[in-house]
Structure 1
Amino acid sequence: MIKYCANLSTLFPELPFLERFGAARSAGFGAVEVLFPYDHPVPDMLDMLGRNEQSLAMITCPPPNYTGGERGFAAVPGREARFQQDFRRTLRYAKALGAKHIHIMAGAAAGPDALATFVANLRWATAFAPEQSLTIEPMANIAVPGYFLNDYVQALEIIKEVRAPHLGIQFDTWHAFQIHGNVGDIWAHVKNYVTHVQFAQSPSRNSPDVAGDIDFTSFMKQIKKDGYKGWVSGEYTPDGLTGSSLNWKA
């Protein structure tokens, strides 16, 4: 059985943030994820999670959000101290909120030095937080120009080089299609290292029940057949009210 999760940073945007937990619960979501929870008091979020009997699947490191904030430092040479500072803060939030995964963002960088920096920082993070599940996610250049981690094959190679059992791949269908052009094929290549899945239709990053590039019926059947046991999170932009975009969950 697929365990569906709601990304509260993208779903239910028609509601104030704290009200989204209850809306997700009413829609049948027993787990949620929040990309950047740092602008909200931890006690308030804990109250919402407890009141709605929900698990927190994932938060993102570093704390700055997408509005004017850099998209990570983990692969940026010379920013190691900043990465460690931000990771410590994110880890405090993850522990306080019971977040299953922390997604570590690589940032804008390129070349051998960036690769060496990314591997070294991931080794530091996995050693610093041996009981915390960590993920890395390739992002398409069309969405995040210059982002270091922009290929799922590359992500798999990095995972194998770091060699930490609690470091996995965050598989996003939209990014996977934009990068590789075939979600099923790249899933088959990396599936044994995937610990968290996010989905949105391509090209417009909207609901999976909208016609587009990705056959979600086949994809969901495949991950179920492959025995994937992690969460599968809706990280898309609804066309209108979120409730009208949830037909795929029926």
Structure 2
Amino acid sequence: MIRFSANLSMLFLEVPELERPAAARRAGFDAVEIQFPYGHPAERWHDALREAGVELVLFNVPAGDLMGGGQGLAGVPGREAAFRDAVDEAAAVARVLRPRHVNVLAGCPAAGHGRERCLDTLAANLAYAAEVMADAGVGVVTEAVNTVDRPGYLIDGTQSALDVIDRAGHANLRIQYDLYHMQIMEGDLIRSLRTHWARIGHIQFADNPGRHEPGTGEIHFANVFAEIERLPYDGFVGAEYVPSRRTEETLAWLEGRRR
């Protein structure tokens, strides 16, 4: 049985942030993820999650200016100190919220630096994050992102994600495999999952094109979800899509998995 999580930074936006864990629980989720939980004290998130009866399984390490279209932190030579501060901030939150994983966003190449140097910086920063989070009992993942939405992103495919993880050389690192991004960049989702499941720490999904809920695009989710169920994969599968309607009206895919 797949264990689904609801991304509270994209779903249930109809209610305030701290009310979203309860909204997710009412909709049938027992796990959630949050992109950046830093806008509220960790203790308030902890209370909201506990009262709703849901588990937090993932959040992101602070990524600097990345979400505003910048380069981020993780792959920028000369910004290692800022990245370490971001990891330390995430670790403090993780000690309160106890997620399964935190996600390090690789970002885009820094102006004036070659791509290989940025990848070396990213690998070293991933190794640092993996070590700090291991001390907190939390795994680290990093995600390949499509270059249609984010031109120039440092890791843009499954193999490039594996390559930088191997370069980092830490056992506490895995892939965050996003079906939406990899459908755009590679397709062949089922074969990729079969090949790499043991190195995947977290899966996310949205349909393509549009990044909306399953059934709005080209991905055959019934087959992909059935394959995930067949695999020995023991992580969560996160709904990280932009609802085309009210969130509750986009959950037919979840109801279908319960039958």
TM-score bracket for the superposition, by shorter chain length: over 0.9
What per-residue deviation string (whole Å, max 9, x for no partner) do you get for residues 15-54 of structure 1? Answer: 1111211110011111100001111222221111110111
Query: Are 1:200 and 2:219 an aligned pair?
Result: no
User: Which deviates further from its counterpart, 86-95 or 63-72?
Assistant: 63-72
Query: Are 1:39 and 2:44 an aligned pair?
Result: no
- Equivalent position amino acid for 1:223 in 2: I
How far apart, CA to CA, are the structure 2 residues paired with 1:171 and 1:152? 8
Change (3 A) 1:66 1:23: farther
Change (3 A) 1:66 1:14: farther
Question: Is the Cα contact below 8 Å between 2:64 and 2:73 reproduced in 1?
Answer: no
Query: Are 1:159 and 2:165 an aligned pair?
Result: yes
The Cα shift of 1:71 comes to 5.5
Question: Is the Cα contact below 8 Å between 2:66 and 2:107 reproduced in 1?
Answer: no
Change (3 A) 1:137 1:94: same
Question: Is the Cα contact below 8 Å between 2:12 and 2:23 reproduced in 1?
Answer: yes
Q: 2:133 aligns with which of 120, 129, 132?
A: 129
Look up the match of 1:57.
Answer: 57
What per-residue deviation string (whole Å, max 9, x for no partner) do you get for residues 133-153 of structure 1? Answer: 000000011111222111211
- Equivalent position amino acid for 2:226 in 1: K
Q: 1:242 aligns with which of 244, 247, 253?
A: 247
Query: Are 1:171 and 2:160 an aligned pair?
Result: no
Question: Is the Cα contact below 8 Å between 1:139 and 1:151 reproduced in 2?
Answer: yes
Look up the match of 1:213.
Answer: 218
Look up the match of 1:28.
Answer: 28
How far apart, CA to CA, are the structure 1 residues paired with 2:179 and 2:65? 22
The Cα shift of 1:188 comes to 2.8
Look up the match of 2:16.
Answer: 16
Query: Are 1:82 and 2:82 an aligned pair?
Result: yes
Q: 2:119 aligns with which of 100, 115, 130?
A: 115
How far apart, CA to CA, are the structure 2 residues paired with 1:4 and 1:136? 19
Q: How many residues align?
A: 249
The Cα shift of 1:234 comes to 0.5
- Aligned residues: CA RMSD: 1.7
How far apart, CA to CA, are the structure 2 residues paired with 1:163 and 1:52? 38
How far apart, CA to CA, are the structure 2 residues paired with 1:247 and 1:18? 25
Q: 2:186 aligns with which of 180, 195, 199?
A: 180
Change (3 A) 1:71 1:53: farther
The structure in which a higher percent of residues are helix is 2
Q: TM-score, normalised by structure 1?
A: 0.94
How far apart, CA to CA, are the structure 2 residues paired with 1:91 and 1:128? 7
- Equivalent position amino acid for 2:102 in 1: I
- Equivalent position amino acid for 2:239 in 1: G
Gaps (5+ residues) in structure 1? none
The Cα shift of 1:66 comes to 5.9
How far apart, CA to CA, are the structure 1 residues paired with 2:100 and 2:65? 20
Query: SS of the counterpart of 1:129?
Result: helix
User: Which deviates further from its counterpart, 154-163 or 240-249?
Assistant: 154-163
Change (3 A) 1:65 1:34: farther
How far apart, CA to CA, are the structure 1 residues paired with 2:10 and 2:84? 27
The Cα shift of 1:164 comes to 2.2
How far apart, CA to CA, are the structure 2 residues paired with 1:65 and 1:37? 16
Query: Are 1:5 and 2:10 an aligned pair?
Result: no
Q: TM-score, normalised by structure 2?
A: 0.91
